[in-house]
Structure 1
Amino acid sequence: MIPPQMFNIFYITHDQCTTESHWELFIGISIRVAESVIQNSSITIDKVIGNLLDEGALAPEISAENLNYARYFIFIILSYQTMLYSPALLAPASSVPSQLSIIEHTGCCMFTHAVHTLNIEECASETLSELLMGFGVLLPSKNLCLEDDEHMNNAFHEEVEVNVKQFNAHALHHLAGIKVKWTDSLSCHLEFDSTTKEVLLFRFPSFCQFSLAEYKGGKGRGVLHACGTTSRLRCQWATEAEINQFLAEVLLSYRLLFGQTKSSPGLFRSIDPFLRSKGQNRNLKDPLLSRICAERSCDDLLGGLRQNLELVEKDTYYLPRDFPILRYRFVVLQRQLSTSAPRTWVQLWRDKRNSAQWMTFWAVIAFGAFGSLMAFLQVLMQAVQMLQ
């Protein structure tokens, strides 16, 4: 909810305003913001505001107080157009904002978000990529390891393959005890929270599909692509081409986790990705999520996006090639899975990561149980003979 005082930046008569008129105003300004961002390289929030002033979309004379409201309003619009972060919405009675703030209701990522607040006057004159870099690595580049730990670095370079039969949502949940938590922030997809043992998954794959289809269809880049870096000095931040790769990897990761094994779709159906807390919109759902996670084949969904992208389902994925952007996050989850030992008989039965070892273990159990049963029956027969 946007507080009413934020609409003071517009040239409107508040006595005649309604919720519907505010919504129409928000949509209209959003379209103009998107056009400004897409058409102008290295644009800043203040330049976007300048363009809106030139077009007459804002009140001709903006006070210093309303200027900060305008900056925060653009920041909110950019969050919906990129889906990279969730802005901290201002309360109706809040003071004039002095900081741009993000808040993750569905969990905070240790490496993705370095900070949650930035000085509004300092970052409003920075390009969008520079501004977003201030919050952390929201758009990582290819084959980037975000860990200084030596063991993690070794694992990053050694564990380069992911086998679908061994690594999937069912195995993560039942063997490693990892729970799925859905997030509205694309930048948090596949981030693992070690304190709560939760993996965050983006709940709106249609955004990724639409952004890729628009770009590949020749309609040009969107606002998300405009946030890519063009500087060679920013080696940790994604370029425009890497953003396409990132979107493709997010779509393919749903198939790897849920769609390529028989047991994982059942896990997906047992959870409600769009179960929201009281007061939130419960009707906002993405039908693509159910299709891409629960159907046996998604060739009709992914086939049209495969041009110049690795969007092919495989039994074994090579991370540096198939998931160069999400590679680090897969390694973190794979290490968590490999270090988790079964603790119950049910987990032992489900743990088929090493099929040869699994068959050997249960064969020993079966033959041992059979041998014990035969020995017991032999003792029982001898006892009966002695009694006779």
Structure 2
Amino acid sequence: MCNFGDAGHGFSSRDHLPWSSHKTLRQAIAQHFQREKKLQPDNPRIRRLFTARHLVCIGGLKVRWTNNLMDHLRLSDDDRAVFIFHNADFLGYQSCLADQIFPADLINETLRTLTLLFPQNDRKTRRWLSKQISKHSLDPSILRCGNAWAQDRRFENFYFWHDRLVILKQNFDDASPRKLSQWWGDRRNSVQWYTFWVAILVFVATGVLQVYLSWRAMQQEGGEDG
């Protein structure tokens, strides 16, 4: 579940794991997956709106499903797409091994990122994800990753994927809805959401009233002429 080597003279959007002859596979993996926190999030808490469905429907991102763990949560295509590792069954199997080849806690932390993006108790997310599974032949175990509780929604509890989560969350926060359907689903700022839709309602009501008054005026003119 990790790409090795490079593309040579070609080009690949996928990340790869350098593995030289003087290192063991375990050493190469440990060197790549570091427990580092370089970026500081604007807010220490990750809100419930931060799901894969909302990344697409509100943030306008495309999801690129991947079997390469190296690419998980990485943005691509000029920050218009995000890679998501979908093999939850593989992660579950690895988490049960006493002697993992991956760094300690990496597998469990990866599973926790999936619970953020695909909360099991969110019906809309489950319907959306079920369609994605059928369309892209994804691992169906991703439907059963569980739910993220309050303590799971803090950046401080992530180490290996911390910086990519911060970047992805910032990209989501900075995205502006472009369609009415996106505006309707965007509840990131409740005050802004209500203000927008009240303005739309007032605009529509004003337009309907103007049409009605114009019609009444024409009716009255027609009655006087008769």
TM-score of the alignment, normalized to the shorter chain, above 0.5: yes
Counterpart selection for 1:317 from 141, 153, 158: 153
**Deviation (angstroms), 1:345:** 2.2
Summarize the alignment of residues 132-171 of structure 1 with structure 2, pairs less than 5 Å apart: 132=29, 138-143=32-37, 145=38, 153=39, 156-165=40-49, 167-171=50-54
Partner residue, 1:342: 177
Cα 1:175–1:326 change in 2 (3 A) is same
CA distance in 2, matches of 1:315, 1:366: 39
Whether 1:179 and 2:75 are equivalent positions in the alignment is no
Give the SS at the match of 1:180: strand
Q: What's the counterpart of residue 122 of structure 2?
A: 261
Change (3 A) 1:262 1:316: farther
Counterpart of 2:64 in 1: which secondary structure? Answer: strand
Structure 1 residues 291 and 180: alpha-carbon distance in aligned structure 2, compared to 1, 3 A threshold: same
Q: Does 1:86 align with 2:36?
A: no
- In structure 1, the partner of 2:144 is 291
Residue 204 (structure 1) shift: 1.7
In the TM superposition, residue 173 of structure 1 has moved relative to its aligned partner by 0.7
Q: Is the 2:51–2:118 Cα contact (8 Å) retained in structure 1?
A: yes
Structure number with bigger Rg: 1
2:123 maps to a residue whose letter is: K
1:387 deviates by 2.4
Deviations 1:144-190 (A, max 9, x none): x3xxxxxxx4xx2434221012x111221122221222222223221
Are residues 1:385 and 2:220 paired? yes
1:363 and 2:198 correspond:
yes
1:274-308 deviation digits (Å, cap 9, x = unpaired): 847xxxxxxxx74422333xxxxx38xxxxxxxxx
Letter in 1 for 2:23: E
Q: 1:254 to 1:273 in 2, by over 3 A?
A: farther
Alpha-carbon distance between aligned partners in 1 of 2:100 and 2:78, rounded to the nearest angstrom: 36
- Equivalent residue for 1:249? 109
- The equivalent position to 1:354 in structure 2, one of 168, 172, 189, is 189
What is residue 126 of structure 1 aligned with on the other side?
23
Aligned equivalent of 2:100: 222
Tell me, what secondary structure is at the counterpart of 1:201?
strand
Structure 2: tracts of 5 or more residues without a match:
none
* CA–CA distance in structure 1, aligned partners of residues 113 and 65 of structure 2: 14
Letter in 1 for 2:48: V
Offset at 1:315?
8.9
| Aligned mate of 2:133, from 263, 269, 272 | 272
Give 1:358 deviation, angstroms. 1.0
Gaps of 5+ in 1: 1-82, 88-100, 146-152, 215-219, 229-242, 277-284, 293-297, 300-311
Q: Secondary structure at the match of 1:353?
A: coil
How high is the sequence identity, in percent, across the aligned residues? 21
Distance 2:189 2:167 in 1: 20
Task: Determine helix, strand or coil for the equivalent of 1:176.
Answer: coil
Distance 1:207 1:117 in 2: 22
Q: Provide the C-alpha distance between the structure 1 equivalents of 2:32 and 2:205, rounded to a whole number of angstroms.
A: 57
Q: 2:210 is paired with a residue of what secondary structure? A: helix
2:78 partner SS: coil
Please tell me whether the aligned partners of residues 174 and 347 of structure 1 are also in contact (alpha carbons under 8 angstroms).
Answer: yes
* Number of the residue aligned with 1:213: 96
Which residue is equivalent to 1:373?
Answer: 208
Q: Does the CA contact (< 8 Å) of 1:163 and 1:316 recur in 2?
A: no
- TM-score (ref. length: structure 2): 0.80
SS in 1 for 2:118: helix
Instruction: Give 3-state SS (helix, strand or coil) of 2:46's partner.
Output: strand
Please report the RMSD computed on the Cα atoms of aligned residues, expressed in angstroms. Answer: 3.0
The 1:106–1:211 alpha-carbon spacing in structure 2 relative to 1, beyond 3 Å, is farther
Secondary structure in 2 matching 1:158: coil
